[in-house]
Structure 1
Amino acid sequence: MVAEVTELLADRRVVLDLTVGAGGHAEALLQAGVGRVIGLDRDPEALRAASERLARFGARFVPVRARFSRPPVAGPVDGVLYDLGVSSMQLERPERGFSYRLPGPLDMRMGPEGPSAMELVNEAPEDELARIIAQYGEEPRARRVAAAIVRARSRGPIRTTEELARIVAGALGARRGGPHPARRTFQALRIAVNRELEELAESLPRAVALLAPGGRLVVIAYHSLEDRIVKRFLLGEPALRVLTRKPRRPSTEERTRNPRARSAKLRAAEKLAEAA
């Protein structure tokens, strides 16, 4: 949703991109006249890619490696952007272990720190696995999946995405033409490994505190769990005026060009002058 982001944040003096990834939104913003983009990401590979892509902008792009829940940035800034979830770059790298379609180590970490999905899958109690899969993956048959994982790991550690996808598919079965049966389980584990919802809930108030009066907060979410947190926060934050009564959705053209964008919802708000 580059066009929508650019429309909301173009010509701002300083924009804080809290999920810079490979730098696609940052590039569009710099081209649209934003004076400086500070790009945060916890993934060092993403920051390297963004820095290479944006090298021609010189000091107008500032890469920072950090979690967005604790941005080491002194405000005020004129815009804050979140493009939540896993990036295409991460999904398409088998060694990162995010995809149920690509064989690789069962990692799923967005940064190099912390326990991996392999540790979670092999060490968490069955009830905890079921809770994670039900809560973060919204998988109605979470207990069946958790039980299958525990049975499989009793025979030996589950080490790869391919193994886990096969275990989940065996537990749930597959419908011809339907989504992969492991889709929700992989989403749940990724969210748990990276504490994505906790990070988001911690980050949003800090983002508002960094905004100058008239500064804008723009958030793109890809599933209902993220979007629910964002919606409730924007509606309940007295320092903000909501700009999107209903979330903006990708155009038909963008959904055709980029199927991963089909579930995206963009919400935006502006900081009130009296909240300064």
Structure 2
Amino acid sequence: MGLPDAGPFAPDPRHRPVMLAEVIAHLAPRPGEVHLDGTFGAGGYTRAILGAGASVIAVDRDPTAIRAGQALAEAAEGRLTLVEGRFGDLDAHVRAAGRETVDGVVLDIGVSSMQFDEAERGFSFRFDGPLDMRMGGDGPSAADIVNTAEEIEIARILWVYGEERKSGPIARAIVRRRAERPFERTRELADLCEAVLGRAKKPHEIHPATRTFQALRIHVNGELDELARALGAAEAVLAEGGRLVVVSFHSLEDRIVKRFLADRSRERAGGSRHAPETAVPDPTFVMIAKGAVEPGEAETAVNPRARSAKLRAARRTGAPVRRAIDAEALGVPDPAPRRGRARA
């Protein structure tokens, strides 16, 4: 799958957008169209869309990303509109840009490589920095959560959002440690996870802090609820024939996208000999890709971040928008503590 000759919008060699060729092949931008990039980041997808001749409304809740994109907006000469905001509100962003519909929506869920590489953002344990993890700089930080939340709440967050099997012991260790002094730095939390779980024994094993950092980041930024809202908003603003492309990086995200598209592309409800089939609204999407598309070996060899990526894509029909999003039905987990002890 080749990419258009992007000219002045050629990819920034410092950042590798995941599955760029596959994203553009499924999004299929054309001159005169308008697409929305809901996760602008370093602008990788936006550059390729501009290079294909389409215009872009690019959204990012990170003001740093928006500031960094100003030069690209100038080069686009009116074809790029930068919006600081949440992609869950993408329908509102489209209307604010003076449009009712767009021809494509692309979402790259999670944290950009640019954010991971900035120690002061606190997303990565590879660099010591403030334990922050906020994409937009508003609301409680990761340090606020680990320093003030109850043990059972911390354990639940780590289990639900990080699928951390030792969430209970890590939560107990966090509470003991913060009684001595509060957490302030990423290295402090990473060291605690290593102390509880032990160091990785083989080069290919993930760092012991990986799931804890993932869980806190998702919780701090409300990422899964935001994804569910964005899918519903995309359904509302995509024109008939418009394409939706979503790249996710772990099972919780992919499950939400998979369930949404399965529900929205369903033509009838299943029946049985005891109960007849029941009518459902006309499908609002038809699948472009059959199942999840995964990156090729060549990409994963040069871009380790791509290893867990999955792409799902669908095309909007002319059917009316369906009912409001049911986050629970899509698999958005509830991190609220449940009765009983934390996982041992």
What is the TM-score normalised by the length of structure 2?
Answer: 0.78
Counterpart Cα distance in 2 of 1:257 and 1:175: 22
**Which runs of 5 or more structure 1 residues have no equivalent in the other structure?**
none
Question: How much does 1:203 deviate?
Answer: 1.6
8 Å Cα contact 1:22/1:50 also seen in 2:
yes
Partner of 1:233: 260
Q: Secondary structure at the match of 1:102?
A: coil
Partner of 1:77: 102
More helix by share: 1
User: Does residue 210 of structure 1 match 2:237?
Assistant: yes
CA distances 1:10-49 after superposition (whole Å, capped 9, x unpaired): 2160001000111011001111222x10000000101122
- 1:20 counterpart letter in structure 2: F
Question: How much does 1:54 deviate?
Answer: 4.4
Question: How much does 1:223 deviate?
Answer: 0.4
Counterpart Cα distance in 2 of 1:52 and 1:224: 35
**Which runs of 5 or more structure 2 residues have no equivalent in the other structure?**
1-18, 265-282, 322-344
Partner of 2:303: 258
1:21 to 41, 46, 51: 41
Partner of 1:98: 123
8 Å Cα contact 2:174/2:192 also seen in 1:
yes
Equivalent positions of 1:193-204 (< 5 A) are 193-204=220-231
Partner of 2:316: 271
CA distances 1:149-200 after superposition (whole Å, capped 9, x unpaired): 0110010100000000011110111132221100000000000000000111
Counterpart Cα distance in 2 of 1:16 and 1:220: 14
Question: How much does 1:202 deviate?
Answer: 1.5
Counterpart Cα distance in 2 of 1:63 and 1:98: 24
CA distances 1:128-152 after superposition (whole Å, capped 9, x unpaired): 0000000100011110110110110
Partner of 1:65: 84
Question: How much does 1:50 deviate?
Answer: 2.3
Question: How much does 1:212 deviate?
Answer: 0.3
Equivalent positions of 1:84-163 (< 5 A) are 84-163=109-188
Counterpart Cα distance in 2 of 1:259 and 1:144: 29
Counterpart Cα distance in 1 of 2:299 and 2:71: 25
Counterpart Cα distance in 2 of 1:188 and 1:56: 38
8 Å Cα contact 2:73/2:82 also seen in 1:
no
Q: Which moved more, 1:261-270 or 1:8-17?
A: 8-17
Q: CA RMSD in A?
A: 1.1
2:71 to 48, 52, 64: 52
8 Å Cα contact 1:27/1:54 also seen in 2:
no
User: Does residue 43 of structure 1 match 2:88?
Assistant: no
8 Å Cα contact 2:134/2:141 also seen in 1:
yes
CA distances 1:181-231 after superposition (whole Å, capped 9, x unpaired): 000000000000000001111121111100000001100000000000000
Question: How much does 1:124 deviate?
Answer: 0.6
Q: Which moved more, 1:227-236 or 1:11-20?
A: 11-20
Partner of 1:3: 21
Identity %: 51
Counterpart Cα distance in 2 of 1:252 and 1:49: 31
What is the TM-score normalised by the length of structure 1?
Answer: 0.97
Counterpart Cα distance in 2 of 1:53 and 1:122: 40
Q: Secondary structure at the match of 1:69?
A: helix
Q: Secondary structure at the match of 1:101?
A: coil
Q: Secondary structure at the match of 1:180?
A: coil
1:224 to 232, 237, 251: 251
Partner of 1:181: 208
- 1:25 counterpart letter in structure 2: Y
Whose radius of gyration is greater, 1 or 2? 2
Counterpart Cα distance in 2 of 1:228 and 1:27: 28
Give structure 1 regions of 4+ aligned residues with deviation exceeding 6 angstroms. none
Partner of 1:30: 50
Q: Secondary structure at the match of 1:229?
A: helix
8 Å Cα contact 2:73/2:81 also seen in 1:
no
